[in-house]
């Protein structure tokens, strides 16, 4: 018995069951957590952020009650986080590493070369937007500014006294010179003036407001808030609010903001509908200085008491006309009511309809109206071509175009009017062995993000989209936009073809036109003429005949339709014989 008892004790000792003994007045630690606790004691840096006085709280508060749960004050809501949640959300890894914080007028944040590659890409990266060979032609675009005491335009990024840290990030992004909209808007925003800016798509409107706003934040530092609002509060107090109409555009602005806020104390966040609210709230709990949001989700979070607009310095409405078209005006006005009346307001869009003029009158004060090129104009870097195609022939015409286009040229974006047609056309292309994907409002946010990622990376170089992808999205290497269905408004046509020919790169835009689109024929002729594009003879004939008194005899109408189609079919046969390239 003694031998077996000794053997049993040796086995128990080898299992280390009783090797841990509680210390006097120590909290009980379960066995499966004991080794972890020992590692923490041996590693003093296991949770470095919570012991950092400069990143979290004042030293006196830490000394008074070290066991109290720590809530950062507003002015110290920078630096590292108290926990590494990136292992649960690896796509948000940039939020917890190498983020600076404000200290005596400086931005403290270590460089991370891998993170820089993720944010800024490389010179030969096809997923990063680069300026094209025709970028210098932007300088000839006319710029008109109206208002009181308009600041002069700049010529280089270094011309105004922008923050040095921002200039470093601009250099990392390989931006050599500002676009016309940036040359005019940067000094206006830096002089704290309200602005209503209209410029063609792909002209750099995002940088036009982002660069001066970040420069101002970098130089002035965070706003000091009273302890009653900042201490033990789950409410977020952003200082800059950017409103965008769609989740895709909001995500894109957020990506640009985190890029140029790299290594600074400024923390960007994004909230939009259709995504997990819990994850967005966790992001907000870590601090937010620039909030990018869609109106619906923002109003929801304000109603829940999770966001306060008390300290908003600058309000930015991007694609404001699109937000009004989508019925967001009540939400926008509700959001503005939550803000201080003394603020700077900026509105950016590619068009300036009457409802936007009314909104500018209500929200802007002593503002400057800035127009770069004609309001609603198309880029001259885009070669536009109109094809007369009846509805039943559109699929065949689309296959002809895709078959004649070299696969290595770039990405092709196809626009349709309905969600159902987007799915049908996507399946049709897949059946004909064209790798394609689709995006529309009925797809979940995860499906939309997956489709955009597949399109950006070239796994699916053809994307069929409804109007959800038409506004503001900056997808690199889109060389061809096909308007399978023309919109009823010519401004929507401008936005759609603006997905190509961006930043001085060349692009191709093809549109299928038939008698159902005759209501925009005159506007299309004006756009083509202004952009110095070839105007089809059948389109000019349709425009001239539309001025004549309309006769309801069906025979005459059908005869005209067949005549347009006959002339167009002859043009297509001529193109095939001459082996005309689409690019």
Instruction: For residue 106, name the pLDDT band (cuts at 50, 70, 90).
Output: low
Element at 334 (helix H, strand E): helix 329-337
- The arithmetic mean of pLDDT across residues 388-406, rounded, is 91
25-67 pLDDT, tens digit each: 555 455 544 554 454 444 444 334 333 333 333 333 334 343 4
Distance CA 239, CA 406 (A): 48
The answer to whether 111 touches 279, Cβ cutoff 8 Å, is: no
Whole-number Å distance between alpha carbons of 406 and 408: 6
Using an 8 Å Cβ cutoff, are 213 and 365 in contact? no
Give the integer Cα–Cα distance in Å for 501 and 510. Answer: 13
Is 521:539 a contact under the CB 8 Å cutoff? yes
Q: Angle 295-303/329-337 helices, nearest 10 degrees?
A: 40
Residue 142 in tokens? 């006319």
More confident residue, 88 or 168: 168
- Torsion 257-338-324-301 (CA) sign: positive
Report helix, strand or coil for 340. Answer: coil
User: Which tokens sit at 538?
Assistant: 């059948």
pLDDT at 194: 96
Query: Looking at domain 109-377, which of 3.40.50.720, 3.40.50.2000, 3.40.50.300, 3.40.718.10 is its CATH number?
Result: 3.40.50.300
Per-residue confidence band for 371, with pLDDT thresholds at 50, 70 and 90: confident
Residue 262, Cβ neighbours under 10 Å: how many? 26
Q: What is the CATH number of domain 382-578?
A: 3.40.50.300
Backbone angles phi, psi at 120, to 5 degrees: -105, -10
Largest CA distance in the chain: 118
Which of 421, 138, 107 has the alpha carbon at shortest distance from 266? 107
pLDDT interval class at 5 (50, 70, 90): low
Q: 348 or 473, which is more confident?
A: 348
* pLDDT recorded at residue 102: 67
Against a cut of 0.75, is the pTM above it?
no
CA distances in angstroms from 158 to 154, 161, 213, 368, 369, listed in the order given = 9, 7, 15, 23, 24
Q: Which of 303-312, 367-376, 450-459, 469-478 has the lowest mean pLDDT?
A: 469-478
Residues whose CB is less than 8 angstroms from the CB of residue 369 and which lie 6 or more positions away in sequence, other chains included: 145, 146, 147, 196, 197, 198
Contact 316, 254 (CB under 8 A): no
pLDDT for 305 equals 92
Domain with CATH 3.40.50.300 in the chain: 109-377, 382-578
pLDDT at 135 over 80: no
Looking at residue 482, its pLDDT comes to: 95
pLDDT value of position 312? 94
For 215-271, what is the HEC assignment?
HHHHHHCCCCCCHHHHCCCCCECCCEEEECCCHHHHHHHHHHHHHHCCCCCCCEEEE
What pLDDT is attached to residue 369? 93
CA Rg value for the chain: 29
Taking a C-beta distance cutoff of 8 angstroms, is the pair 384, 497 a contact? yes
What pLDDT, in 10s, does the model give residues 504-563? Answer: 678 899 999 998 998 899 989 988 888 888 899 999 888 877 665 444 444 443 334 434
Strand, coil or helix: 164:
helix
Predicted local distance difference test score (pLDDT) of residue 127 = 52
> Position of tokens 């967005």?
280
Range with the poorest average pLDDT among 82-86, 270-274, 357-361, 521-525: 82-86
* 1-15, 232-246, 417-431 — most confident range: 417-431
- Count of Cβ atoms closer than 10 Å to residue 139 Cβ: 12
Q: Residue 282's pLDDT band (boundaries 50, 70, 90)?
A: very high
- When the pLDDT of each residue in the chain is averaged and rounded to a whole number, the result is 75
327-354 pLDDT tens trace:
899 999 999 999 998 999 999 877 777 8
Distance of alpha carbon 513 from alpha carbon 485, whole angstroms: 8
């Amino acid at each position: 018995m003694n031998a077996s008892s000794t053997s049993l004790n040796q086995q128990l000792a080898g299992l280390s069951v009783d090797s841990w003994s509680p210390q006097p007045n120590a909290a009980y630690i379960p066995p499966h957590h004991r080794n972890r606790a020992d590692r923490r004691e041996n590693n003093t840096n296991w949770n470095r952020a919570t012991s950092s006085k400069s990143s979290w709280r004042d030293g006196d508060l830490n000394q008074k009650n070290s066991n109290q749960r720590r809530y950062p004050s507003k002015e110290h809501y920078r630096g590292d986080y108290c926990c590494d949640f990136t292992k649960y959300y690896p796509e948000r890894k940039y939020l917890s590493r190498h983020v600076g914080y404000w200290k005596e007028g400086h931005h403290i944040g270590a460089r991370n070369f891998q993170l820089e590659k993720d944010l800024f890409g490389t010179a030969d990266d096809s997923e990063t937007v680069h300026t094209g060979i025709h970028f210098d032609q932007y300088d000839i675009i006319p710029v008109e500014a109206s208002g009181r005491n308009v600041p002069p335009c700049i010529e280089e990024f270094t011309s105004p006294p922008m923050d040095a840290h921002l200039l470093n990030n601009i250099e990392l992004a390989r931006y050599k010179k500002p676009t016309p909209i940036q040359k005019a808007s940067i000094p206006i925003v830096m002089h704290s003036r309200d602005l209503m800016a209209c410029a063609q798509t792909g002209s750099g409107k995002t940088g036009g407001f982002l660069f001066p706003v970040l420069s101002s934040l970098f130089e002035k530092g965070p706003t000091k808030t009273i302890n009653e609002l900042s201490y033990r509060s789950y409410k977020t107090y952003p200082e800059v609010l950017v409103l965008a109409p769609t989740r895709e555009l909001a995500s894109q602005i957020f990506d640009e903001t985190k890029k140029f806020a790299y290594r600074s104390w400024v923390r960007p966040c994004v909230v939009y509908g259709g995504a997990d609210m819990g994850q967005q709230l966790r992001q907000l709990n870590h601090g937010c200085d620039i909030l990018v949001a869609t109106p619906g989700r923002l109003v929801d979070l304000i109603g829940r008491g999770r966001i306060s607009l008390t300290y908003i310095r600058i309000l930015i409405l991007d694609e404001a006309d699109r937000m009004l078209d989508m019925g967001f005006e009540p939400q926008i006005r509700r959001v503005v009511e939550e803000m201080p009346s003394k603020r700077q307001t900026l509105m950016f869009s590619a068009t300036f309809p009457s409802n936007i003029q009314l909104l500018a009158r209500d929200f802007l004060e002593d503002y400057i109206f800035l127009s770069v090129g004609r309001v609603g104009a198309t880029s001259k870097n885009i070669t536009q071509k109109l094809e007369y195609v009846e509805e039943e022939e559109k699929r065949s015409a689309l296959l002809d175009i895709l078959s004649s286009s070299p696969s290595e040229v770039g990405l092709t974006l196809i626009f349709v009017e309905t969600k159902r047609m987007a799915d049908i056309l996507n399946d049709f292309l897949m059946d004909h062995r064209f790798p394609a994907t689709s995006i529309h409002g009925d797809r979940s946010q995860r499906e939309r993000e997956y489709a955009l990622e597949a399109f950006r990376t070239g796994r699916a170089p053809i994307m069929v989209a409804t109007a959800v992808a038409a506004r503001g999205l900056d997808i690199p290497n889109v060389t061809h936009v096909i308007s399978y269905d023309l919109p009823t408004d010519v401004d929507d046509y401008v936005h759609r073809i603006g997905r190509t020919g961006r930043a001085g790169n060349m692009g191709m835009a093809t549109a299928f036109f038939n008698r159902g689109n005759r209501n925009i024929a005159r506007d299309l002729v004006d756009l083509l003429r202004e952009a110095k594009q070839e105007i089809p003879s059948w389109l000019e004939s349709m425009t001239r005949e539309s001025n004549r008194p309309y006769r309801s005899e069906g025979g005459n109408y059908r005869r005209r339709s067949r005549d347009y189609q006959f002339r167009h079919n002859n043009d297509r046969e001529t193109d095939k014989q001459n082996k005309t390239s689409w690019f």
